[in-house]
Amino acid sequence: MRLAFDEAFDAVLTTHARRGRLDKAIEELAATDPFAAVVGRLRCLRGVSTLTVLGLSVEVGDWQQFTGSTIGSYFGLVPSEDSSGSRRMQGPITKTGNSHARRLLVEAAWHHRRPYRPSRELIRRRDGQPPAVRNRAACGNRRLNHRWDRLDAQGKRPTITAVAVARELAGWCWSQCGGGAPPHARPVGDRRGPAEDQRSRHPAEESGADPDEDLVRQALAAVTVRVEALEAEADQLRQHLQRDEEIRAQGCRAVAQAETERLTALRREALLDAVAHAEARAEIG
């Protein structure tokens, strides 16, 4: 049992160390282009850490391909509908799109259940961001908390409320980074249109390169690193499980052998007692 515990404890320590290395690699990747600006903006929202932002950015790619009314349907967070004529019937959420990104948003939505009081970690994450970004994120945090309280007061189940808040959180994420810099955050006199602003944020377009191709390449590289890490972790877990099975099998064999030896000794003692009893009766007779 001690050996099995040591092996299991070593597996836990190894897994924690691997997770720490992966978290460090994710932090380093998030600090580089093209993720740095998006990570800085979205981390101002409650429940959205670096890992969540990078996961959403990798799965979404270009936030500008969506609008505030379509981002929720992309994640499968909108209710299904079976309407005909004047009759409108809504069912469960569609669950279309990327399930990993949807899970990240739902997990982040649970953080908005508590009243909005900026924690030290949230204050640290939003340091260095423009005032417009911080104010927009604060409005979003208050709005999401009020949304949760309102649905909770209506008697909605917490799981349904979390999905509804996650759908609205997706819209706030798009608002934070999908449209680029807010208009009031631009310098005075900057009257560039959306197309010009799009080109100014993608210098690769001016040189003739395709920015979408660079984003896809970065996303594929991040996904490849993630898949390789998961495969390595799965191999380690399989090895530990096989080792545990071998240890349990050895323990069972040892217990069986000890039980056999005990029964053999009992039989020997019983036989000796029977012989002694027979000899005693023979002497008496």
* SS3 of the chain: CHHHHHHHHHHHHHHHHHHHHHHHHHHHHHCCCCCHHHHHHHCCCCCCCHHHHHHHHHHHCCHHHCCCCCHHHHCCCCEEECCECCECCEEEECCCCCHHHHHHHHHHHHHHHCCCCCCHHHHHHHCCCCHHHHHHHHHHHHHHHHHHHHHHHCCCCHHHHHHHHHHHHHHHHHHHHCCCCCHHHCCCCCCCCHHHHHHHHCHHHHCCCCHHHHHHHHHHHHHHHHHHHHHHHHHHHHHHHHHHHHHHHHHHHHHHHHHHHHHHHHHHHHHHHHHHHHHHHHHHC
CA nearest neighbour of 22 among 178, 265, 227 = 227
Instruction: Report the mean per-residue pLDDT for the chain.
Output: 76
pLDDT at 190: 41
Is-contact 37 200, C-beta < 8 A? Answer: no
User: Could you tell me which of 76, 67, 44, 61 has the C-alpha nearest to residue 179?
Assistant: 67
pLDDT value of position 213: 58
Q: Looking at residue 214, what is its pLDDT? A: 59
Give me the residue spans of the domains in the chain. 1-27+210-285, 31-182
Is the pTM above the cut of 0.75? no
Least confident of 28-32, 102-106, 180-184, 197-201: 180-184
Only one residue has tokens 């079976």, namely: 82
pLDDT higher than 60, residue 162: yes
Please give the pLDDT value at position 189.
Answer: 37
